[in-house]
Amino acid sequence: MEPSAASEYVNDQEYMECVKDILEHPVFQSMDQYIQHGTTTCKDHCIQVSYLGYQFCKRFGGNWRSAARAGLLHDLFLYDWHTHARETGNHFHGFTHPRAALVNAEKYFVLSQEEKDIILRHMWPLTPVPPSTRAGFAITCADKAWSTVETVERIVHWLAFPFMAQPVRR
Ligand SMILES: [Fe+2]
Ligand SMILES: [Fe+2]
């Protein structure tokens, strides 16, 4: 069977060897309980961002290992951001979650300086300091691209649902 675009990464041996330890780690798996955008979980979002960033680096240059690994960890903030502000009073998730993700990532994984930089600066230009490497820009762009796709998919679903729910007239 042909793999779908969303699970294409599984058949990429080089990618899988590079990120296997993270993919199998319970803390990474735990992101499956949090929704990121639309119906996409943080875990699936991070996988897609990681793989697209890795592909960008393979094609245009940049450290693909750093992109692949930091991409998986870039949103490891480990809470539901939809209820976070109400529960904690922190209304600045967009600005603060890269630091939260880095703190969590450092707790469970050994990170290179470049990987730390990618996680911390992935929200640029919302946060003021841009990534300092090509791999960092690859992940920043991949994150924007997938966030847009996930959000648009949700909007299309909302718009289509009333029509799909109409009974068929004969
Ligand atoms: Fe993020
Ligand atoms: Fe993200």
Q: What is the 106 CA–ligand 2 centroid distance (Å)?
A: 18
Q: What is the pLDDT along the chain (170 residues), one digit of tens a residue?
A: 344 557 899 999 999 999 999 999 999 999 999 999 888 999 999 999 999 999 999 999 999 999 999 999 999 999 999 998 899 988 999 999 999 999 999 999 999 999 999 999 999 999 999 999 999 999 999 999 999 998 888 788 778 766 666 666 65
Beta-bridge mates of residue 41 = 35
Query: Residue 121 C-alpha to ligand 1 middle, in angstroms?
Result: 9
User: If you measure from the C-alpha of residue 71 to the centroid of ligand 1, how many angstroms do you get, rounded to a whole number?
Assistant: 10
Q: How far is the CA of 131 from the centre of ligand 2 (A)?
A: 14
Domains and CATH numbers, the chain: 5-165 (1.10.3210.10)
Half-sphere exposure of 104 (CA within 13 A, CB side): 23
| Cα–ligand 2 centroid distance for 104 (angstroms) | 15
Amino acid found at 136: G
Whole-model pTM: value is 0.89
For 41, 57, 106, 113, 148, the CA distances from 30, given in Å and listed in that order, are 10, 27, 16, 25, 23
At 50-73, the pLDDT tens digits run: 999 999 999 999 999 999 999 999
- Residue 4 has what DSSP assignment? P
Q: How far is the CA of 27 from the centre of ligand 2 (A)?
A: 17
Q: Give me ligand 2 centre to Cα 151, in Å.
A: 12
Q: Tell me the C-alpha to C-alpha distance, in Å, between residue 16 and each of 10, 47, 63, 85, 152.
A: 7, 11, 16, 35, 28
